[in-house]
Amino acid sequence: MKRVKILAWVLGIIVWLVIGFLIARGPQPELVVPGEKLWQVGPLKITNTLFTAWISMIIIIVIAYFGTRSMKLLPSGFQNFIEAGFSYVLDQIVEIAGDKNGRRFFTLTATIFFFICIANWIALLPVFNAIGVTEDVGHEVFHELSSPNPGKLSLASNGTYKEDHKFAGTKLDNTGGVYMIKSGAKSMDFTVNDGETPAQAADRYYVFLATKFTDFKLPAGDSIEQPQDAQTVKAAVAALNAEPKAPHLITANEQHGSNEHGIESSALGTTVTGVDFSKAQRFGTVIPLFRSAFADVSNTLAIAIISFVMVEFWGIQSLGIGYLKKFFDFSSPINFFVGFLELISEFVRIISFTFRLFGNLFGGEVLIVMITYIVPFLLVDIVYGMELFFGFIQAAIFALLTLVFAVMATESHGEEGHAEGSDGHHTPEHGAPGIPQGAAQVQ
């Protein structure tokens, strides 16, 4: 009887997984490491990761506001919840740093913890990586190729591109506004190659469009990655023009647009000033509106730098100039070398902080997207549960490491402490805020 039950369960799960695999698969993920730009304000690109960071901040501040709006000595309801979370963090910090230092380091450590933890957790909401603003890649490719100062491509002074750049997208019905990332959309990508001139890349782009939107086939043995000969390009453009539901090229002869953004094509013998997608399905991409805030190196680096700066600041505040002796010790070559290593390790912390958090969260995000793509039911739930845990753990690690480094920085070196103590300058209460020890020593 029990066996039958287990068998039924296993069967049910398999059927469920298969159903998910057949009908509910996510879109084929397009993995992009940097946060994608949503809007541009002056020099600041508002990426989806920055946008999410702002949302996390707003959520935290709203929670803080409502949690402490009417504080009572006997807590109840929401205040109880807030205080419980707060006390948990406070206890952890005080346990590590002691009562006095715990209070001193609390603001930074707790903020790091709450910020990262909340940002990680809201990144598990279903809207993340699912809805986004669309970007018209079809037009963008042509714009980049025709521009003398492209934003995404890097044009060398000799007129060729310095590195590969991939434009990826899917066929979309609409390239305006917010769009759901479509399940099973056929993705396509076009790569601008290293060492290509804009004209060569543009010719290849026309052929690429022809293969995607018409029945046009490349000659046997040819690849879209290779430079195309004039005949192929002409045939491809003819095929595009023949197909009413394909993008059409706008040439200078048609007096559409200005000549300055045109690309002169030797194969076609004319200057192309644009690609008209008005009758075709567009070639575009959906940029997720929300992406995990700390799956972006810029954001993790920012927190790491703050952590580093504050640790060094506390070190100097507590031990004065003596703190720097740890790094610049001229008493012997070995000590000098050790100090040098200490100095390097101090800076390496920034990198380890940055990439630990980034790696974990980016990895988690990729894992969720990939599992959603491959096996959308059941398995992804397990991954979500794990991510909930990892989000918390990573926040705790970042905060506690900052705390530990701060404690280490404010504790004087054993031997130096003794030497200073015999001089009578050193007080055991190192680290009275606002009274730099160094000032006393200089006197």
Of 398, 410, 437, the C-alpha closest to 311 is 410
CB 121, min distance to another protein, A: 16
Per CB under 8 A, 45 contacts another protein? yes
Which one of 83, 264, 276, 346 is in contact with another protein (CB under 8 A)?
A: 83
Interface size with another protein, residues (CB under 8 A): 45
Identified binder of another protein from the candidate list 4, 6, 22, 73, rule CB under 8 A? 73
Residue 214 and residue 245 in contact, taking contact as beta carbons nearer than 8 Å: no
Residue 125 touches another protein, criterion: CB under 8 A: no
**Residue 305 found at the interface with another protein (CB under 8 A):** yes
Place of tokens 């070995």: 334
In this complex, which beta carbon is closest to another protein, that of residue 185 or of residue 397?
397
| DSSP letter (8 states) at residue 228 | P
Instruction: Decide whether 33 or 440 has the Cβ nearer to another protein.
Output: 33
Q: Does 402 bind another protein (CB under 8 A)?
A: no
Eight-state DSSP code of residue 332: -
Smallest gap from residue 65 Cβ to another protein (A): 6
């929670």: which residue's tokens? 63
Please pick, from the candidates 1, 2, 4, 43, the single residue that binds another protein as defined by CB under 8 A.
43
Closest to another protein by CB, 103 or 413: 103
Does residue 408 bind another protein (CB under 8 A)? Answer: no
Buried b (16+ CB within 10 A) or exposed e, 383-414: bbeebeebbeebbbbbbbbbbebbbebbebee
Residue from 103, 261, 425, 430 binding another protein (CB under 8 A): 103
Which segments of 68-177 does DSSP mark as H helices, in order?
78-97, 99-122, 137-146
Is residue 221 involved in binding another protein (CB under 8 A)? no
Q: Which of residues 262-281 bind another protein (CB under 8 A)?
A: none
Distance CA 77, CA 67 (A): 9
| Dihedrals phi, psi of 191, to nearest 5 degrees | -110, 130
Query: How much is the CA Rg of the chain, to the nearest whole Å?
Result: 30
Angle between helices 297-319 and 333-374 (to 10 degrees): 150
Q: Is residue 288 within 8 Å of 36, Cβ to Cβ?
A: yes
Distances (CA, A) of 225 to 77, 127, 329, 381: 63, 36, 57, 40
The 343-382 site mask, x for binding another protein (CB under 8 A), equals ----------------------------------------
> Where does this chain touch another protein (CB under 8 A) — which range of 38-46, 178-186, 333-341, 366-374?
38-46
- The residue range among 78-86, 344-352, 400-408, 418-426 that interacts with another protein, by the rule CB under 8 A, is 78-86
Contact segment (CB under 8 A) with another protein among 43-51, 141-149, 175-183, 325-333 equals: 43-51
First-residue to last-residue Cα distance in the chain = 87
- Residue numbers at the binding site for another protein (CB under 8 A): 33-35, 42-45, 47, 50, 53-54, 57, 60-61, 64-65, 67-68, 71, 73, 75, 82-83, 86-87, 90, 103, 106-108, 110-111, 114-115, 154, 163, 296-299, 301-303, 305-306
